[in-house]
């Protein structure tokens, strides 16, 4: 890939559904982030959900306020959302919040944004229609506002958002602006990622699908005349440290297949799609009061072979986790966003920081 240059592989982790499942509170989350800052992690990310009702013991705080609190108690890690949706907040709010986070953390703020999903939206009476169009408009508005000030006001006229002589009155520390990471996994959003993004955040990928979609981003960027030499090909991946990887895999493999199931993955791996299951309908309509849709998803996902699903997750000892990460590095990943599963959340962060990150830093020195 002609845009690639040798760069340090970044390692971050996200406070996502894995943390919600454990029921950790804000003090425990902040403690984990302080550990990561000392252990040379590069980034920390926060899930931007209003709730996760599948785990009633979960404590779901506002992502942006949590990132600001974490930023006040750390010094090195970059901080971003994984991800904010382009539905629940006006883009002017997202732009200003991102700039404010960047200023409060002396240039460590990032914006992770995506088109969103029905859950966390329709339950609150928010209309979930045309999410990709809204994402495109939000990205355009946010970009304009990042460049604005009282002497450089901006206008915008879209289908959903409008600006008239508008501006922000705060500039980011990081120049030219905080980086924007876009969650993308379909043709239209991959194109948006190449056009507007500084980074890409996919989730539920195999190395083969990651490489395929990274190539799509490269092709779009080439057509746009965009330089990707510093582009962050991030990857939200699952890690489960355990002494017996095979036993753990056998218990979790069906859940992993559900997390991977999407038409794009089936196509890359030549897996036939279940004709009775409509993935797009699931993605745009699934909420917790429609459990039958999840059951259909679980059934359809069983078609993914174990050999394919196992490549997507790091389960076992540190060496086995390293092997998974190397598969994705070979596919083009340069920034990992880890979701640690299993018991011992703090222990898992420490193990990754003391065993996995040093391995890759040593490899980079060779």
Q: Is the pLDDT of residue 137 over 70?
A: yes
Closest-CA residue to 108 (of 170, 46, 44, 65): 44
| DSSP assignment string, 226-278 | ---TT-EEEEEEEEEE-S-HHHHHHHHHHHHHHHH--HHHHHHTT-PPPTT--
Residues 6+ apart with CB under 8 A from 75: 37
Task: Give per-residue pLDDT as tens, 173-227.
Answer: 999 999 999 999 999 999 999 999 999 999 999 999 999 999 999 999 999 999 9
Closest-CA residue to 33 (of 64, 66, 55, 10): 66
The CA distances from residue 85 to 154, 161, 313, 322, in Å, are 23, 15, 25, 31
Average pLDDT over residues 247-251: 95
* Contact between 235 and 335 (Cβ < 8 Å): yes
* Contact between 118 and 83 (Cβ < 8 Å): no
Q: Which residues are registered as beta bridge partners of 138?
A: none
- The secondary structure of 297-360, three-state, reads HHHHHCCCCHHHHHHHEEEECHHHHHHHHHHHHHHCCCEEEEEECCCCHHHHHHHHHHHHHHHH
Structural domains of the chain ordered from first start: 10-248+313-365 (3.20.20.30)
Q: How confident is the model at residue 92 (pLDDT cuts 50, 70, 90)?
A: very high
Q: Which pairs from 258-262 meet CB under 8 Å and 24+ separation?
A: 258/297, 258/298, 258/301, 259/203, 259/204, 260/204, 260/205, 260/206, 260/301, 260/304, 260/308, 260/309, 260/312, 261/204, 261/297, 261/300, 261/301, 261/304, 262/185, 262/204
Angle at 112 between CA 110 and CA 113, to 5 degrees: 140
Work out the number of other CB atoms within 10 angstroms of the CB of residue 177.
20
Average pLDDT over residues 277-283: 68
pLDDT, residue 174, reads: 97
pLDDT, residue 275, reads: 62
Measured CA to CA, the distance from residue 111 to residue 235 in angstroms comes to 15
* Contact between 205 and 265 (Cβ < 8 Å): yes
Q: What predicted TM-score, i.e. pTM, was given to this entire model?
A: 0.94
Task: Give per-residue pLDDT as tens, 10-40.
Answer: 999 999 989 999 999 999 999 999 999 999 9
pLDDT, residue 5, reads: 43
Q: Is the pLDDT of residue 3 over 90?
A: no
* Percent of the chain whose pLDDT exceeds 90: 85
Q: Which residues are registered as beta bridge partners of 335?
A: 10, 234
Task: Give per-residue pLDDT as tens, 303-322.
Answer: 999 999 999 999 999 999 99
Q: Is the pLDDT of residue 284 over 70?
A: no
């Amino acid at each position: 890939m002609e845009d690639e240059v040798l760069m340090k592989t970044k390692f971050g982790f996200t406070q996502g559904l894995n943390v919600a499942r454990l029921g950790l509170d804000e003090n425990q989350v902040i403690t984990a982030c302080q550990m990561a800052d000392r252990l040379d992690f590069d980034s920390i990310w926060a899930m931007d959900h209003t709730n996760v009702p599948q785990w009633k013991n979960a404590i779901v705080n506002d992502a942006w306020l949590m990132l600001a609190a974490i930023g006040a108690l750390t010094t090195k890690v970059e901080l971003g959302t994984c991800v904010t949706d382009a539905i629940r907040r006006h883009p002017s709010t997202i732009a200003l919040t991102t700039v404010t986070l960047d200023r409060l953390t002396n240039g460590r703020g990032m914006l992770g944004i995506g088109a969103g999903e029905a859950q966390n939206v329709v339950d609150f009476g928010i209309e979930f229609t045309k999410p990709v169009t809204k994402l495109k408009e939000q990205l355009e508005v946010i970009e304009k506002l990042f460049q604005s000030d009282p002497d450089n006001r901006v206008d915008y006229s879209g289908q959903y958002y409008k600006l008239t002589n508008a501006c922000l009155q705060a500039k980011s520390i990081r120049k030219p602006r905080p980086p924007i990471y876009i969650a993308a996994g379909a043709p239209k959003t991959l194109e948006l990622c190449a056009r507007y993004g500084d980074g890409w955040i996919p989730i539920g990928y195999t190395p083969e699908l990651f490489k395929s979609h990274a190539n799509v981003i490269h092709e779009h960027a080439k057509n746009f005349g965009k330089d990707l030499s510093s582009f962050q090909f991030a990857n939200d991946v699952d890690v489960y440290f355990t002494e017996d990887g095979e036993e753990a895999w056998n218990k979790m493999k069906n859940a992993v297949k559900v997390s991977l199931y999407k038409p794009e993955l089936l196509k890359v791996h030549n897996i036939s799609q279940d004709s009775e299951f409509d993935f797009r309908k699931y993605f745009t309509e699934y909420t917790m009061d429609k459990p039958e849709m999840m059951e259909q998803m679980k059934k359809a996902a069983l078609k993914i072979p174990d050999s394919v699903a196992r490549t997507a997750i790091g389960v076992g000892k540190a060496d086995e986790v390293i092997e998974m990460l190397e598969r994705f590095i070979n596919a083009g990943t340069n920034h990992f966003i880890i979701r640690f599963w299993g018991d011992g959340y703090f222990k898992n962060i420490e193990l990754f920081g003391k065993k996995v990150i040093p391995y890759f830093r040593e490899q980079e020195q060779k």
